[in-house]
Structure 1
């Protein structure tokens, strides 16, 4: 047996003794012990050595001299080893079957885990894996668990969740959306200080390790029990309860009630790292650069000082559409030929809406060709006066014809909470080359609709953001 194989089987054996094998590893080890004499002998020797170490005199382990064993005893020991080894191999083989039989019964299945990035998870993270009780940490993407009870829970990164049983789980931090059929009535989700019991419904939870928690019911009925409070609180479709200020800290600081903020808040992670590369980089923070966004709800005022750019398209609520506008100061490239260009936005973890209600999202970028409208203001731009825009329904997802040109598209996969998304091509470079006033305005629109109310409002870093890179234009200038 090759050294690599030896270490492989020894490692699996150690993991089996610690009850840490996956289902696939258990099957592989069990089959090898039944069918491969070399593996049986190897692990029998390991078991025998372990037994001998357990009965080794303490003085020997401490390095002290001990009287040598009589020759007869040594000879007897060798004979016993030769006699015991085959028996130990058989015991090891049977023991593997016994260990497998003792493994806890799976309580859930990881039914969806496409393009996910996982952190320190104690459970298998391959799509289709059976899950026993344990911890999952999802860093990026959306994963779906189907519990043996029939309940489905969508994990929206970043999130840490503990699988407890077929009828319960615990959100350590992050956001999840649960859909519970009638046969799983009573399915329970715990947070640090809250217990949510479902009665056949669809609801979302955002929670922090500090005890903060937001429960939002999309359909049906849940009961919420809070540590330190008497009794349970009933919540029905459209209702929510906020322990800790998720709503107040989200995108509607002027809201006087929960009804004034139509989208549920979300738990936000800590800071993320900046990104960069080797091209000449121009951001909206340079010179006369600017960035802002508009919303179809005219009551909600955008100041232009927000640390994010919100973009959303929905046919479920006409007051929640949003577009982003960014402009770059191109004066540094006056008289130069731009040969290539890339436009980049950096995704921010959104604190509004549920990612599982929005599929892979297509974003289209337009360039403002009517330069007389480049003078828009960050704090005054609105749904009623934005460039290349009108109140007509068709302009919710497209600019006014003749005032802007399509430059390209990019796709943000469902559940993505961080990363850079870039659009490039000949159309972008040509648009920049045609500039005559030293300013270039981009309009970013999400083409993709949400599948139900309360879908995610995508967020991208603005120049006011202190955690991430603002909208970026990278260009290659021909000398």
Structure 2
């Protein structure tokens, strides 16, 4: 065999072991191993040398052996070669395909997994890891899978997903957003009772382990099959189908009207625990405390009895701006000096929008300085009539400057679905010390815009929430 041919087959063999050959190169190598004895012997010798190196015959760290022992080892190696070389050649001949594919090529890669918390996952959870078929459970954060077909699936915690193949996955429970390029047309997402087949698009799927499923198409076209329902249903951009009641009538006046429910629903997890410390804790449930939000959509009516406040900033739909208002009764601290203070908000899993369409979010917190407006009613407050607010464009993301004071910011990482976020410092404590009527108001605004329509609406627990702590004001006082 000519030197260039030798190097060609050795290189092809090395690339085949790394799963870096295409179908034609693999076919060519298989035929050569079966029908060309010189290629078969070359590969067998290369395999034997690799085995010898792994067992230490060529180890540079080995201690020098006496001459007799060296000769013995040499003879032993020679005898092993005479025995193993024909065996290796026979194995290569009989099992060429097995040798090349003894470790199946990965079907996906964990392309992004920063700041993620994982549960009981059968697959590796290190960013960049190759994935075989198996299960992933994401407890917090957003992780992105890049399938070998080219499809990308963003996992929005909490979610449990099974990787099936380069063209399939199954959502056990939770929410995912898929972006499928033309070469991956036909990529399929299964849920317990639903099958979603893509035709080059971006779409979201929310599924419950009880069989509920919501499919929302952001761009392009999908076909949906539902167990027990005949045929397939086509969905195009902006359309959705809800099996089991993800869209609640309490969320919007008419949950079946697409225009009245602009953000798609999500699967919600179970309850989470409260958070406490050693300070005096004042919540919006005490005394004259209150919490609610306003929304720029004139059709939407906030009752003040919701289990969370919703906050969002969007330049893609002017009807979806939302601000939160929090009121605290400070009467219990009269006659005392407030030395330190912390304002803590508890993130709730949002039931609207996709987290992968909103980056790390910045929230500005303002204190209402115009005390005559502290008497707002959480049942009556509206976008057109709210403290330190006007319908001017600049007040969508900031209050009226003469009526409010910025106290600081909260930074919430992308995909965060739970946890406590706290604002503290001298500015907050000083604002509380200036109070003269025993009642203070905080205004919470999200500065961060969404990448595209259907972005996440952030949610924070209120005093009506039964599974999480309401807004907390932790105060240390001095006589």
When normalised by structure 2's length, the TM-score is 0.80
The CA deviation at 1:248 is 2.1
Distance between the aligned counterparts of 2:431 and 2:142, measured in 1? 36
Specify the alignment match of 2:54 in structure 1.
Answer: 34
Partner of 1:266: 266
Partner of residue 426, structure 1: 426
CA offsets, 1:108-136, max 9 Å, x none? 00010010000000001011000000000
**1:389-468 alignment to 2 at 5 Å?**
389-468=389-468
Please tell me the root mean square deviation across aligned C-alpha atoms, in Å. Answer: 2.3
1-structure distance, mates of 2:219, 2:119 = 31
Counterparts of 2:468 and 2:357, CA distance in 1: 25
**Deviation for aligned residue 1:463:** 0.3
SS in 2 for 1:431: helix
Q: 1:220 to 1:336 in 2, by over 3 A?
A: same
Shift of 1:244: 0.6
2:408 counterpart of 1:388: no
Cα pair distance change 1:99/1:413, threshold 3 Å: farther
CA separation of 1:101 and 1:256: change in aligned 2, threshold 3 A: closer
Instruction: Give the distance between the partners of 2:447 and 2:204, measured in 1 at CA.
Output: 25
Distance 1:362 1:401 in 2: 19
How far apart in 1 are the matches of 2:55 and 2:273? 51
1:20 aligns with none
Structure 1 CA distance, aligned partners of 2:314 and 2:51? Answer: 53
Aligned equivalent of 2:115: 115
With 232-241 and 258-267 compared, the bigger mean Cα shift is at 258-267
Deviation at 1:260, TM superposition (A): 1.6
Runs of 4+ in 1 over 4 A off after TM superposition: 30-33, 98-101
Provide Cα deviations, 1:193-221, integer angstroms capped at 9, x if missing partner.
11100000000000011111000000000
Deviations 1:392-438 (A, max 9, x none): 01100000011000000011100000000001111100000000000
In structure 1, what is the Cα distance between the partners aligned to 2:444 and 2:51? 56
State whether residues 239 and 258 of structure 2, in contact with CA within 8 Å, keep that contact through their aligned partners in structure 1.
no
Aligned-pair CA distance for 1:254: 4.6
The verdict on how the C-alpha distance between 1:477 and 1:188 changes in structure 2, with shifts beyond 3 A counting, is: same
* Cα separation, 1, equivalents of 2:168 and 2:279: 50
Cα separation, 2, equivalents of 1:354 and 1:36: 54
- Residue 259 of structure 1: CA displacement? 3.0
Match of 1:324 in 2: 324
Unmatched runs of 5 consecutive residues or more in structure 2:
1-49, 58-75, 92-97
Tell me what 1:25 maps to.
Answer: none
- TM-superposed CA distance for 1:230, in Å, is 1.3
1:191 equivalent in alignment to 2:211: no
Residues 331, 182 of structure 1: alpha-carbon distance in 2 compared, 3 angstrom cutoff: same
Please name the residue that 2:164 is paired with.
164
How far apart are 1:103 and its partner, in Å? 3.0
3-state SS of paired residue (1:319) = helix
Cα displacement (A) at 1:292: 0.4
Deviations 1:14-62 (A, max 9, x none): xxxxxxxxxxxxxxxx99991559xxxxxxxxxxxxxxxxxxxxxxxxx
Q: Does residue 1:275 correspond to 2:295, yes or no?
A: no
Cα distance in 2, alignment partners of residues 161 and 394 from structure 1:
42
Corresponding residue number in structure 2 for 1:221: 221
Alignment deviations for residues 165-192 of structure 1 (CA, whole Å, 9 cap, x no partner):
0001000000000000000000000001
TM-score (norm 1): 0.80
Counterpart CA distance in 1 for 2:254 and 2:164 is 39
Map Cα deviations across residues 446-476 of structure 1 (whole Å, 9 max, x no partner). Answer: 0000000000000000000000000000111
Whole-Å separation in 2 of the counterparts to 1:436 and 1:306: 29
In structure 2, the residue matched to 1:174 is 174
* Contact 2:253–2:260, Cα closer than 8 Å, also in 1: no
Aligned length: 398
After superposition, residues 215-364 of structure 1 pair within 5 angstroms as 215-248=215-248, 251-252=251-252, 254-255=254-255, 257-364=257-364
Counterparts in 2 of 1:31 and 1:322: CA distance versus 1, 3 Å: farther
CA contact (8 A) 1:251 1:352 kept: no
Secondary structure, aligned partner of 1:183: helix
